[in-house]
Amino acid sequence: MAQTSGKAGGPAVRGDAFLGKHAIQTLPFDPKKLSGFSEKLLVSHHDNNYGGAVKNLNKVETELSQVGPDTPGFIVSGLEAAKLKFTNSMILHELYFGNLGGDEQVKELFRSARDGEYREVAEEARELSRKFPRKGEVSEEKRAELESQLGRLQKRTAEIATVDFFHGRGREPLEGLLQELAERLAPPAPQPEASRAAVVGTPRGRTWVTRTGIHVDRMASAWLIRRFIDPEARFKFVNAREYRHKEGELRFDMFNGEYTHKGELCTFEVLLQTFEITDAAPRPIAEIVHDIDLKDEKYGRPATAGIETLVNAIAMAHREDDERLARASAALDDLYEYFKRKRPERGRAEEP
């Protein structure tokens, strides 16, 4: 059972580890067009059985968040058992409805559900970031307060990850944010004078590892690696839960990777920065990849929506990662040539 905490005289609230904000996912198919099933039965099963499980889970988690030191143990145990039951019911129903719509649909259903939860924690992380001092070191008293809040966000992220069976795309951006906050809380360390590129070295013919089911950041990062960093790179696409790191392999856009999200930077941007790529043409590509991957509309380039549609089309049409990379690389080669040759007219912003 999670430890309770709180000030004397008040309830020992568990914090935000139990958010009670699970969203009911829509059916990943049109129930009218599913052969052999009653539309009425499917809708009723979704709204009542699955929807009821989600609502009950939210209710239980809300009650758990109010547990105090005087709450009888049998009540806490009952709430914990109910939480497990409704969590399992929610997950099994999502699997059931997803499988009715096809293998890829169930994966997207799970990713969508987990990504929504990751986004909520990411918003809390950004809110926490605004509490950090703008200048100077963090006082010990303030550090303890911020570390406590950061710890709750890290715990919530770990809880989401335990049911993130298909590795939602929001996990790396969130972990990058949390890692940056942890680094800002750490006592300052002396920085070497040498450039990061000199420290890292120039990889040649290395094996670069990333998660299977590549999407925009992994597609673009792999293209950048092969075109600007390691022309002889070999790529290995793995199941993140089963992968065991081997000496000499370089991981990107994955948990504990050598090159992955850092703060508000996506992996593509981290690679640009780390290897000090001075070519100007990849910069607008980085902005497009950033907005698609982090969904924060930081740069707002007009072409972003179209590129996102193209990336989604590649992912939907091709299940094999090598084929996805080949298709994406051809498109990125052309986009790179466009930005390389394009010169903005005087007084006008560069497009797209």
- On whether both 112 and 201 belong to a single domain, the answer is no
CA angle 273, 280, 267 (to 5 degrees): 35
Same domain assignment for residues 146 and 264: no
Of residues 105 and 99, the one with the higher pLDDT is: 99
Percent of all residues in the chain with a pLDDT value above 70, rounded to a whole number:
84
Q: Are residues 215 and 296 in the same domain?
A: yes
- The pLDDT value given to residue 200: 53
Question: Does residue 10 fall inside a structural domain?
Answer: no
Domain limit, last residue, from 145, 166, 185: 185
User: Both 155 and 267 in a single domain?
Assistant: no
Residue 27 falls within a domain, yes or no?
no
Average model confidence (pLDDT) across the chain: 82
Within a domain: residue 114?
Answer: yes
Mean pLDDT throughout 230-235?
A: 96
Please return the burial class of 134, using the count of CB atoms within 10 Å of its CB with bins 0-12, 13-18 and 19+.
exposed
Of the pLDDT bands very low, low, confident and very high (cuts 50, 70, 90), residue 165 is confident
The token duo for 53 is 């499980």
Q: 68 falls in which pLDDT band (50, 70, 90)? A: confident
Q: Give the pLDDT confidence score for residue 164 in this predicted structure.
A: 82
Please give the Cα distance from 332 to 206 (Å, whole number): 22
Q: Is residue 240 part of a domain?
A: yes
Using DSSP's 3-state secondary structure scheme, residue 252 falls into strand
How many domains in the chain? Answer: 2
Q: Where are the beta strands (DSSP E) in the chain?
A: 207-211, 234-238, 250-251
Q: Rounded to an integer, what is the distance from CA 259 to the centroid of its chain?
A: 15
Q: 128 lies in a domain?
A: yes
Q: What is the pLDDT of residue 141?
A: 79
pLDDT for position 106? 62
In a domain, 350, yes or no: no
Confidence of residue 13 (pLDDT cuts 50, 70, 90): very low
For residues 147 and 220, membership in a common domain is answered with: no
State percent of the chain over pLDDT 90: 37
Same domain, 50 and 144: yes
- For residue 6, is pLDDT > 70? no
Residue 281 lies in a domain: yes
Tell me: do 75 and 213 sit in the same domain: no
Which of these three, 127, 157, 185, is where a domain ends?
185
Do 70 and 175 have their domain in common?
yes
Residues 223 and 326 in one domain: yes
Residue 227, token pair as written in the block: 């075109």
Same domain for 236 and 334, yes or no, is yes
Query: What is the domain range of residue 250?
Result: 196-341
Tell me, yes or no, whether 327 lies in a domain: yes
Residue 206: what pLDDT? 95
* Domain finish residue from 139, 166, 185: 185
pLDDT tens profile 246-288: 999 999 998 788 999 988 899 999 999 999 999 999 999 999 9
DSSP letter at 66? T
Of residues 313, 348, 290, 315, the one with CA closest to residue 213: 315
What are 46-64's pLDDT values in tens digits? 999 999 999 999 999 999 8
Task: Give mean pLDDT, residues 288-307.
Answer: 93
Same domain for 212 and 274? Answer: yes
Question: Would you state the pLDDT for residue 198?
Answer: 40
pLDDT classification of 35: cutoffs 50, 70, 90: low
CB 177 within 8 A of CB 127: no
Summarised one tens digit per residue, pLDDT across range 208-232 is 999 998 999 999 999 999 999 999 9
Predicted TM-score (pTM) of the model is 0.58
**Which residue in the block uniquely carries the two structure tokens 């690679």?**
271
228 and 143: one domain? no
